Structure 1
Amino acid sequence: MSRLDEHGELFNDPRWALALIRATVLEAAHPQIGAALVDHSSFVTHPWRRLRNTFLSTQRMFGPDEEVRRRESARLNRLHARMNGTDAQNRSYSAMDPDARAWVVATMFESAVTMHRLSGQALEQGAMERLYTGFQAFHTALGDDAAFLPPTLHEFWPYYDRVVEEELENTEAMRIILYKLFDHLPAPPLLAGLPTLWGTGRAIAGPVIGAITVASLPESFRRRAGLPETPGAQTLMHSTYLAAGLARFLPGGWVHAQGVADLLALSPESDDPRMRTVTALREQMKRAGALFRLITPVPAQPAPTGGTGTRRSAEEFFQEVLDQTGDGCLDWPDLAAMAREISTRLDLDEPEETRLYNAYADWWRELQAALDTDGDGRVSAQEYAAAAPSLAGPALIRVAEVLFDVTDKDGNQHIDADEYRALFRTAFHRDTVDAAGVYTRSAFVKDFLTFMSGRRRSTPYDPLLTEA
């Protein structure tokens, strides 16, 4: 067992969900990371997708297969190399900055230690040192210089305190996570059809999660960042961590993070065998939702309009499909987020991943030339709606063709059931294949263009690009 896979079970601990939120807040408070999150990440509009991909990446990096770790490390580095720019204070940032990357690892390690302490099971010195060694191995497995993390646990704590005191800021990304994300968190795909129940539960859970997270942050940073602490939050925090710790003693698999993440990601259209049980549960929950509407003042959220094949308005298409980062504008990071999600699902290597990104980059230049009427380098919702364009230009057609190529792993010029499932996580739709049972290049390209340029809702593409 390597120094990495020795700690793999940490990420299936129910307490890790709380620790991961805390680590993410501390990461977002770093000015380099915070700027990259605001400009490039889809965590605001697609938090469940981002969470699942983060979990999958962590499982790969801390798993037993050295080749899987190598490929995942290379993928992460390619992804981060594309994230750079200038923040609101005109400071340059890069997701490949070695100090920032070391801080990500540091927050994960320190939050794991804090997780054990807050749940009444503080790690002994030896266990803490082994855990730190594992995270150092994670850091070097990413290809980073080991010198950017302190060599010993004894030297780690002064480093951690210095960054907290001198470098962290009350960034926009941190404020979004603490005060916006949980208050407006969209339902995961599994619960998307239960807006009343989800809205009611979120109205209660959102502020609680935010208060627990703030209470768990270093006190000095809370004061400096002006983060208010809710009365009783410390007691609530300890109780929540303790309860999450006790969940480890439930029967095996009940709270296994992999199973929970997979279940939440199921689309109602999925052919996964578990959906039969889930569908029955959803029917019971819908009845409960009707009761909630009678006894609670929380307004029901409108359900999505239209079914497969119906058209969206230009405004709906812009918000649900194009604006992947949720900043109200269309620019390169939005299309890069699409390429990133597809690359992650298909686990692409070079050069296929670069081909896909390049195709999306060409489409962005085509869109910018056609729609950016004020020349600010972005396309606003108003510019898009006013033009109401047909987007099926040469660059978008090229995106469709490249997407077919990278999905068609065996290169036989049609997509089989396994290749289709890898991209869409479901079986063939009944109208997908031809009389010979084959999903051809021409049919695939036509379906993609119908979705992207015709703004039509689509059973396979909506879960891929629009669900949270």
Structure 2
Amino acid sequence: MTTGTTQTADGATLFRQDSQFRAFFDDPRWALAIIRATVLEAAHPQIGAALADNSTFVAHPWRRLRNTFLSMRRMFDTDPAVRDREAARLNRLHARMSGSDSRGRAYDAMDRATRAWVVATLFESAVTMCRLSGQPLDQHSMERMYAEYRAYLATLDGDAAELPEDLSDFWRYFDRVVEEELENTEAARIILYRLFDHLPAPALLDGAPAVWAVGRAVVSPLLGAITVASLPEPYRRKAGLAEMPGAPFLMQGAYLAAGLTRFLPEGWINAEAIIETLSLSPCSDDPRARTVAALRARLRRASALLRLLTPLSGDTGPGPASATSTATHEGRRSAEEFFRQVLDQTGDGYLDWPDLAAMARELATRLDLDEPAETRLYDAFAAWWRELQAALDTDGDGRVSADEYAAAVPTLAGPALIRVAEVLFDAADKDGSGTIDSHEYRALFRTGFHRDLTTADSAYRRSAFVGDFLSFMSGRRTNTPYDPLLADA
């Protein structure tokens, strides 16, 4: 194979429709493999620190899943222009992530060796996935898929020199990193022991907390046990990961069962359609929304029945829960809810720059922004963070706690937030017409334009857009188009 190219040694073009990687996109086994790969990524000190400081995978896992899936689709697209554009976007995103971990060690999301490890975990987990499901890849298929992953890395970094050229050398490289560099990082522990146990419901199951809680209570420990059992033994030993009795058999059974889906008719499982359906908001005008709405109504009834049979703590009685319910009923969030659902994007219990950067990142992703519009949006959020820090950070620790936010009873609608709204409007107004039409509205909110399009004044004007944005951010209102954009999981 040729380093940094998109061709194998026999001249077969990579990234085509029948590529080895693309064959796994709609494979249910891939879900198990991705979780495993993510743990191995998070166990790397640099990646673990970057995830802990910047990622929204704890507070907004479903949004993160959707964006990651779409990014990988683009990175393996048959059109080189699509791949190059996505690589440029990812590089801009990663260039904004650097810092130090709790032990003072520096991390940089653009570090080439670290990025190579991410690609290595995806490849190795795909090979392991096939082996555990009783369908091991033959040598030719394995080498071809490795060439695809090296080409993926080359698209990002300009070459694939950080990964060994020969597959035989790759296995020695992988074992060395596992044994010498991986650690029991906080990010890896969160994924294994916190994320599964506290995974928020996707939009599809919103409003049926009892149904989701029961399902999560059953699935979460099993998923955690399967993931731990599938990890390399040297890492399990180093990290002191407890293995549940019978976990290897459970893991083997899960992969085998997922592998049986290959006998289903082609097209029955479509990962992109599943992820999109899970992400549908209640106000979406997607044709599938009617079916989802009916399903959601049934889930609410089932949830109500479960509440009667097994009341959840905090659902009844006086106190803060009642105040929260009242606020929500009136179309407003309490300060605590707003802080947790909207401001604390990373889920670490504090508001700081990575939280606002995550908002900017999500908005830029939705609008598919290029430079310089992307930088203008980040700069506007950075100015808002400086304004918030000056107003709310009373103890001077460089971040805002939930108590500091609640005690200040802020309106948040200062000049910097108004500037954020104006920059966001300009970014959404792709044609520069001074209004947001139905197509531009859908690009941002992923739902229909809920305004009267039959009148002459049907477009979304700047003043109305800025007012609605400020109403959401400072008035803490619920049931707005911004909920699925910034508040939903």
Q: Per the shorter chain, which TM-score range?
A: over 0.9
Alignment of 1:22-171 (within 5 A): 22-171=36-185
Cα deviations by residue, 1:263-319 (Å, 9 ceiling, x for unpaired): 111111211111111222223333333443455576697898466972222222111
Task: Give 1:4's match in structure 2, choosing from 7, 15, 37.
Answer: 15
The one-letter code matched in structure 2 to 1:372 is: D
**Alpha carbons of structure 1 residues 299 and 201: separation in structure 2 relative to 1, 3 Å:** farther
The one-letter code matched in structure 2 to 1:279 is: A
The farther-off stretch of 424-433 and 32-41 is 424-433
Conserved? CA contact 2:345–2:355, under 8 Å: yes
Determine the C-alpha separation between the residues in 1 that align with 2:364 and 2:73. 17
Displacement of 1:247 in angstroms is: 1.6
* 2:184 pairs with 1:173: no
* 2:344 pairs with 1:323: yes
Displacement of 1:122 in angstroms is: 0.4
Determine the C-alpha separation between the residues in 2 that align with 1:414 and 1:249. 50
The one-letter code matched in structure 2 to 1:76 is: L
**Alpha carbons of structure 1 residues 434 and 355: separation in structure 2 relative to 1, 3 Å:** farther
Displacement of 1:220 in angstroms is: 1.2
The farther-off stretch of 441-450 and 240-249 is 240-249
SS in structure 2 of the partner of residue 276 of structure 1:
helix
Alignment of 1:386-401 (within 5 A): 386-401=407-422
Determine the C-alpha separation between the residues in 2 that align with 1:74 and 1:433. 40
Task: Give 1:442's match in structure 2, choosing from 463, 476, 489.
Answer: 463
- Residue 415 of structure 1 corresponds to 436
Conserved? CA contact 1:293–1:300, under 8 Å: no
Displacement of 1:131 in angstroms is: 0.4
Displacement of 1:249 in angstroms is: 2.5
Task: Give 2:359's match in structure 1, choosing from 311, 324, 338.
Answer: 338
Q: Gaps (5+ residues) in structure 2?
A: 1-11, 316-320
Conserved? CA contact 1:404–1:441, under 8 Å: yes
* 2:249 pairs with 1:216: no
Conserved? CA contact 1:191–1:198, under 8 Å: yes
Conserved? CA contact 1:433–1:439, under 8 Å: no
Displacement of 1:435 in angstroms is: 6.0
**Alpha carbons of structure 1 residues 87 and 424: separation in structure 2 relative to 1, 3 Å:** same
- Identity fraction in percent: 68
Determine the C-alpha separation between the residues in 1 that align with 2:121 and 2:259. 20
**Alpha carbons of structure 1 residues 297 and 445: separation in structure 2 relative to 1, 3 Å:** closer
Alignment of 1:238-253 (within 5 A): 238-253=252-267
SS in structure 2 of the partner of residue 12 of structure 1:
coil
Determine the C-alpha separation between the residues in 1 that align with 2:259 and 2:430. 42
Conserved? CA contact 1:324–1:337, under 8 Å: yes
Task: Give 1:267's match in structure 2, choosing from 274, 281, 292.
Answer: 281
* 2:17 pairs with 1:17: no
Displacement of 1:91 in angstroms is: 0.3
- Residue 227 of structure 1 corresponds to 241
**Alpha carbons of structure 1 residues 180 and 92: separation in structure 2 relative to 1, 3 Å:** same
TM-score by length of 1: 0.96
Conserved? CA contact 1:14–1:256, under 8 Å: no
**Alpha carbons of structure 1 residues 432 and 40: separation in structure 2 relative to 1, 3 Å:** farther
The one-letter code matched in structure 2 to 1:93 is: Y
- Residue 377 of structure 1 corresponds to 398
Determine the C-alpha separation between the residues in 2 that align with 1:23 and 1:65. 26
Determine the C-alpha separation between the residues in 1 that align with 2:413 and 2:224. 43
Conserved? CA contact 2:422–2:466, under 8 Å: yes
Displacement of 1:459 in angstroms is: 2.0
Determine the C-alpha separation between the residues in 1 that align with 2:24 and 2:161. 25
- Residue 8 of structure 2 corresponds to none
Determine the C-alpha separation between the residues in 2 that align with 1:419 and 1:236. 47
Determine the C-alpha separation between the residues in 1 that align with 2:222 and 2:139. 32
Conserved? CA contact 1:75–1:349, under 8 Å: yes
Q: Gaps (5+ residues) in structure 1?
A: none
Task: Give 2:291's match in structure 1, choosing from 277, 280, 292.
Answer: 277
Displacement of 1:385 in angstroms is: 1.1
Cα deviations by residue, 1:298-346 (Å, 9 ceiling, x for unpaired): 6697898466972222222111111101111110000000000011111
SS in structure 1 of the partner of residue 99 of structure 2:
strand
TM-score by length of 2: 0.92
- Residue 387 of structure 2 corresponds to 366
Conserved? CA contact 1:331–1:364, under 8 Å: yes
**Alpha carbons of structure 1 residues 399 and 267: separation in structure 2 relative to 1, 3 Å:** same
* 2:488 pairs with 1:467: yes
Displacement of 1:144 in angstroms is: 4.5
The farther-off stretch of 61-70 and 164-173 is 61-70
Determine the C-alpha separation between the residues in 2 that align with 1:251 and 1:296. 40
Determine the C-alpha separation between the residues in 1 that align with 2:390 and 2:301. 50
Cα deviations by residue, 1:194-231 (Å, 9 ceiling, x for unpaired): 11110000001001100000000001110111001101
Determine the C-alpha separation between the residues in 1 that align with 2:453 and 2:461. 9
- Residue 456 of structure 1 corresponds to 477
**Alpha carbons of structure 1 residues 307 and 459: separation in structure 2 relative to 1, 3 Å:** farther
SS in structure 1 of the partner of residue 212 of structure 2:
helix
The one-letter code matched in structure 1 to 2:359 is: M
Displacement of 1:181 in angstroms is: 0.2
**Alpha carbons of structure 1 residues 64 and 282: separation in structure 2 relative to 1, 3 Å:** same
SS in structure 1 of the partner of residue 25 of structure 2:
helix
SS in structure 1 of the partner of residue 59 of structure 2:
coil
* 2:268 pairs with 1:254: yes
